Amino acid sequence: MTCFFDGIIDSLDLRDFRKIGLTYKPAPLIFAKAMKENNKITEHVVWQGVKPKDKELRENYDRIKSYDLNTIMQGYDCSSSEPFLFLVSELFKVKIEVNFIGSMIYYNNIEYSPRTFKFANSRGHFRKI
């Protein structure tokens, strides 16, 4: 079950993949590995209109760093303040809107966000909309 990473991959294009060192649309495992390799503090992303504290940014960084790629087929437990979505917004300079079980969650890259990725998230599934 790789729906979390599948939804993100389906939102990206070849220019985006090149930003993380890939020249093709990757499988979820390759994508997750590339995201870990490009992990950084997401200093340009606000969540729900609020800039996270430095401690929160460090915790997001550490969560991605410690993500076990060997568990990718067991599903991914996406949180309402999701470190990988912070990183997607930072790396690809996009806005992200997530309908999380009926509540809207917003990630906004304050540098420049010409594109918006939209996702829906339930207790057991994540998808691009």
Kindly indicate the confidence band of residue 122, based on its pLDDT and cuts at 50, 70 and 90: confident
Count of the separate structural domains present in the chain: 1
Which residue(s) pair with 95 in the sheet? Answer: 116
Which among 70, 69, 89, 75 has a CA at the least distance from the CA of 123? 75
Q: Please, are residues 29 and 51 in contact by the beta-carbon 8 Å criterion?
A: no
Query: How many Cα neighbours within 13 Å face the side chain of 91?
Result: 23
Q: Please, are residues 64 and 36 in contact by the beta-carbon 8 Å criterion?
A: yes
Q: Please, are residues 69 and 36 in contact by the beta-carbon 8 Å criterion?
A: yes
Cα radius of gyration rounded to whole Å, the chain: 13
- Which H helix or E strand runs over 45? strand 45-47
CATH number for 114: 3.90.70
pLDDT tens digits along 59-107: 999 999 999 999 999 999 899 999 999 999 999 999 999 999 999 999 9
- Domain containing residue 17: 3-128
Q: Is the pTM of this model over 0.85?
A: yes
pLDDT tens digits along 10-58: 999 999 999 999 999 999 999 999 999 999 999 999 999 999 999 999 9
Q: What is the pLDDT of residue 108?
A: 96
